Structure 1
Amino acid sequence: MALPRRPAGGPVSPVGGDGSGALPPLVAPAPSLTAEERARYSRHLLLDAVGDEGQRRLRAASVFVVGAGGLGAPVLMYLAAAGVGRITVIDDDEVDSGNLHRQVIHSVPAIGRPKVESARERLAELAPGVRVEAIHARLDALNIGALLEGHHLVVDGSDNFSTRYLVSDACEIAGIPVVWGTIDRFRAQLAVFWSRPPAPADPVTLRDLYPAPPPPGSVPSCAEAGVVGALCGTVGSMMAMEAVKLIAGSGRPLLGRLVLMDLLETTHRTVTIRPDPSRTPVTSLPEGGDESCEVRSPDAQDVPTVSAADLAAELAVAGSSGAVAPVLVDVRGAGERSIAAIDPSVWVPLDTVAEVASDPTGVLGRAAARGPLVVYCKSGVRSARAAATLTGAGFAGVRSLEGGIEAWTRDVDPSLPGY
């Protein structure tokens, strides 16, 4: 999921001081290793920070992984390869060809299959001694509490803000640590959150850093902005390492620290996250599933919409009768438009809509003179915002394409490539 513009919660400052930041092991060690395990994990046994006892802690650990996509793929592979005894993975999505450049746990034969099933089969090949529980479902406020029971920690590789805040809130209530990462194009953020860490560590959660999720459509997703595949491997591997450190009690976990990376510029910065003293602790999850964690965009709530099928019918009638046809306005980015577009359509990127709309002789003014405007984006969120902006600027009869070009591809023109 793309990144918020900047940390907006409790105080954030450059890391300083010489405190070790060490935490006690999260998991008690399992019984002695077998000869086969000693051979498999011999490189771990050579490390003072892991060793025999740390490896036995890994074998006794239960880790809940949210998502089997870009971040979940390397997390799952490295946790299983490290010998974590039990891994639960939840994801409601299926493998798509557009996933394969970064979600390296999946392969071409897995296209169309649930990601969790593909991941479970790959992990069985990689680490047959690891127990993997695959849940093909969407995580929500109704099921998350029961699903987290019996797990020592959570690794959040989800790709949307509502799920990230749901996971954070549920783990704050349960007192379970969360390894958290987020990616955007070439940039990433990484941290560990824990509402009830052992003293003297301060409790820090996602809401101390970012008090609330941004409005829908205000931050582009990776499907809209793009992401380089190697970034997923880098961040996912670091997330797996944070899990190993917490389980084994080794090194200095990222609790209370935020790592900021830009792989294109090869920069890496770490800042301190402090608890927000004004924040009200989360003690319960709202009813209604994960949508309760979303922030609605007030200006886009009442925008009229049109379905892909109805729009296609309107265009067909206009084409055969000579009636006035709707004019499509594409508010996506240039990269998205290069993959697929509904033709003919006028291209006005979302961040320029307000400026272009202020000129009655501009492209939008000329388009509106030809027919009623129908705005589209990838899924319908950004187009609703753009339609609200146009309505506020005095354009009449503006509608948003419900479901965006995804719905058009599904219901009208399957020849268009997805992304």
Structure 2
Amino acid sequence: MYFTRDVDKVCTSFLGDTPGITKMLGDDGVKGDTPGITKMLGDDGVKGDTPGITQMLGDDGVKGDTPGITQMLGDDGVKGDTPGITKMLGDDGVKGDTPGITKMLGDDGVKGDTPGITQMLGDDGVKGDTPGITQMLGDDGVKGDTPGITKMLGDDGVKGDTPGITQMLGDDGVKGDTPGITQMLGDDGVKGDTPGITKMLGDDGVKVKYHEMLGDDGVKGDTPGITQMLGDDGVKGDTPGITQMLGDDGVKGDTPGITKMLGDDGVKGDTPGITQMLGDDGVKGDTPGITQMLGDDGVKGDTPGITKMLGDDGVKGDTPGITQMLGDDGVKGDTPGITQMLGDDGVKGDTPGITQMLGDDGVKGDTPGITKMRANPGHRETVYFILGQFDTGIFISRHAEEL
């Protein structure tokens, strides 16, 4: 490539056009334009526009907009919005909202809520709740409960119980018992006994006599008349009459009569009566009554009542009330109200209101209002050539006349 005062030759050697006829890249240096007539990429250098009329990508350089009218991605540069009217992603930049009316993800930024009315995930941020009314997971955060009424898993946090009435697993936490009435496994926790009446396997539950290696409860490993390796509740590992490795609620790991490793709400990991590792809202990681790792809006990572890691607009990474990592236009990386990493034209990398990494003509690499990496042949006053670029990313250019 060589430089000359002849603009056409400069551009020809620079771009590869057939000088004086057509330039395969057109007036704006973008491939495929018929120079001086139409630019297949349009006024903004984005592919598919009819220059001076409509831009298939619109005023903001985002695909599908009718420039000056509507932007399929809307005022905030998010796909599907009717700019100036509604944003399919809504006021909070979350997909599916009707902005200013309802947010399909609701007040707490969780999918499926009708904001200000009900939250499909409810007051505790667990899916399926009608907030302020019932929680499909109930008071104890276990799926299927009608909160404040019954717990499908019952008082002992075991699945299938009608809490306060019967426990399908019975008083001893063994499956099939009608608690307080009969135990399908009997007094000794061995299957098939009619408790308090007969033991189908005899006194020690073994089809023999007296006491044996299976003990009083017919479970293998007991010293009959002394200890039962499976304990009072017929669950393996208990020291009978002392502790039950599965506890009062028949759930593994509890110290019976003291704590239940699954806690008051029947969810694993809670210290009952103190904290629930899943918290007040039944979501994992909360310190109940203090903070909820998922926060007030049921979105992961929030410090409830303080900040929401997903912010005011329900988009991940925002510091609510301050900045939104996705910015005012709902595009990732913007500092809302300040700069938009995608810029004024919705093209990635621009500093909005200052420079556009793709420049005035929408071609990659231009410093808008300064140089155009491809130049603009036929318009001597706007022809520039890039002579060098420093690590700062600032282009050094000279006017064609100076060359």
The alignment's TM-score, normalised by the length of structure 2, stands at 0.19
Higher alpha-carbon Rg: 2
Of Structure 1 and Structure 2, which has the larger fraction of its residues in helix?
1
Greater length-normalized contact order (CA 8 Å, ≥ 6 residues apart): 1
Of Structure 1 and Structure 2, which has the larger fraction of its residues in strand?
1
